[in-house]
Chain A
């Protein structure tokens, strides 16, 4: 699980003595008694960036909803030592909604308030500080729907920061981002991990997953969990339920791709 000599630009998993945020054993998740995902054994520590790989319908969202306590575990154990915040896909939100970036970040404060309480000035300052932290200070007053995809994703990360949750679940945050936005987001996620947060990041980018140090492969059950070295061809085939083909691409060079269960977009 730990990589003693991380490659340049790559992050190793958190040290073994870092605080454990999530520990599961034989966890089964699903809806109304029907398991969607079984056999999840994972330990998330402060500072971990875990790439969650798997096909659509493989159980990523169900796992996130279970960690958020929206779904009860169907079997096994789930120990959460801290609160979770989720960073959803931006296209789920209404882009015509009349809210500024600050308004959206401020929504993170609601979870900490009793139902009759409104966010205070201090909460508003917190929202501004979070937007500053994700590099959007000068866009704080712009309408959420007018921002670019990458900026919107970072606003939602800021909202998770306002929730001040040590565990952050990100649902395919890199989908639809251009290279510059993706790089900014990657730097931001690294900074969050360095602050001692534990991140679970759903992604379809295997190369990215290798860089983050820890991977969790799901396809209706846990296929693998560990360092980048667990990403063998057989694990990838089991994860995506398809054949791996080697593609020679003029732009990206020689690299493996999974067919046909999932189309990797480049």
Chain B
């Protein structure tokens, strides 16, 4: 009885303050959206794009901080500038796409750091780079909830079209689906998700919530629907675990969350490898017949 109470106290202790409760809600919101969206990013090979866009929006964030504007607005402007710069750089002859993206993104990221290190810079670089999940306000949360609802609704409506294009892009038109429209929709959703998540996890760690839960869910599911659910669940649980870690170990919240997200993937991957090594798969069952 005593120990049950102790466990209960241990579990509820971090949520005594409104500050941490808001952080928990933020983690749940961006876990659900990032986890689900990440599954599609994984199959559309957009991990590199996600990483690049996240870094490219730093000057926008810093600019907003300097001017005292909402971070979301600055992030959106930064994304727009980044996307246009990448599109333009991609058209330069003799520069392949990956290189063009790398040049633009590091350029923008450097510009962002330069701005952040200027004497006028208020809160400092750290919150923007690594996130400030404990610093979210009620209005931040409300906005995040709205954007997450938009992302989830869009993923619900687009589900079958995303399946068609992800499965076989070249046949999509014959099935009445325009791959370009689906790509653009997915990139817009990525931009929205980045804007939401960057507040909590920061510029450098935001990719963790998009790619780690999806990669982990991929290991344990065989269908897209369950994968989306499991990925969202992993993101929420690992995110919450990260907050506990942060509370009891006194580590930085954003980094703890990102660490937990990646840890879940590593544990599942190692566990899966171990299971396969110990229990050889029944090839007779797995082998397809003619």
Chain A contact residues, CB within 8 Å of chain B? 68, 70, 84-86, 88, 92-94, 97-100, 103-104, 106-108, 110-113, 115-116, 118-119, 143, 146-148, 150-151, 159, 163, 178, 180-181
Contact = CB atoms under 8 A, between A and B. Distances in A.
Given A94-B166, A94-B167, A119-B160, A110 B289 contact: no
Contact of B227 (A84, A98, A107, A163): A98
7 contacts: A68-B174, A92-B170, A110-B176, A111-B176, A112-B176, A118-B160, A147-B288
Interface in B165-211: 166-168, 170-171, 173-177
A103 B163 contact: yes
A86 B224 CA distance: 24
A110 B177 contact: yes
Interface string B253-290: 00000000000000000000000000000000010111
Interface in B46-105: none
Nearest to B173: A70
B58 to A, nearest CB: 34
B188 to A, nearest CB: 15
B2 interface: no
Nearest to A179: B290
Contact of B173 (A68, A94, A143): A68
B159 interface: yes
Contact of A110 (B156, B161, B166, B168): B161
Given A94-B166, A178-B290, 11 more contacts: A70-B174, A92-B171, A98-B218, A103-B224, A107-B163, A107-B164, A110-B177, A115-B157, A118-B156, A118-B160, A151-B290
Nearest to B156: A118
Contact of A94 (B43, B174, B223): B43
Contacts of B137: none
A33 to B, nearest CB: 20
B167 A99 contact: yes
Contacts of A92: 168, 170-171
Contacts of A148: 288-290
A167 to B, nearest CB: 11
A103 B175 contact: no
Nearest to B286: A146
A171 to B, nearest CB: 9
A150 B289 CA distance: 9
A100 B288 CA distance: 14
A93 B159 contact: no
Nearest to B157: A116
A143 B226 CA distance: 14
Contacts, number: 84
A98 B175 contact: no
Contacts of A86: 171, 174
Contacts of B175: 107-108, 110-111, 159, 163
**Interface residues on chain B, size class:** 20 to 34
Contact of B168 (A88, A103, A111, A181): A88
B45 to A, nearest CB: 10
A93 B174 CA distance: 14
B288 A107 contact: no
B221 interface: yes
A93 B161 CA distance: 15
A116 B286 CA distance: 37
A118 B227 CA distance: 19
A93 B166 CA distance: 9
Contacts of A115: 157, 161
Nearest to A169: B174
A108 B175 CA distance: 6
B160 A110 contact: yes
B241 to A, nearest CB: 26
Given A103-B223, A110-B160, A148-B288, A97 B174 contact: no
Contacts of B174: 68, 70, 84-86, 88, 111
A88 B170 contact: yes
Interface string B6-42: 0000000000000000000000000000000000000
A98 B228 CA distance: 11
Contacts of A112: 176
Contact of B223 (A98, A106, A116): A98
A6 B280 CA distance: 54
Given A94-B168, A104-B167, A99 B224 contact: yes
A162 B163 CA distance: 16
Contacts of B177: 110-111
Interface string B131-174: 00000000000000000000000001101110110111011011
A181 B288 CA distance: 12
Nearest to A141: B223
Closest 4 CB pairs of A and B: A111-B176, A93-B168, A148-B288, A86-B174
B155 to A, nearest CB: 12
B236 to A, nearest CB: 21
A143 to B, nearest CB: 6
A99 B43 CA distance: 12
Most buried by B among A88, A108, A110, A113: A110
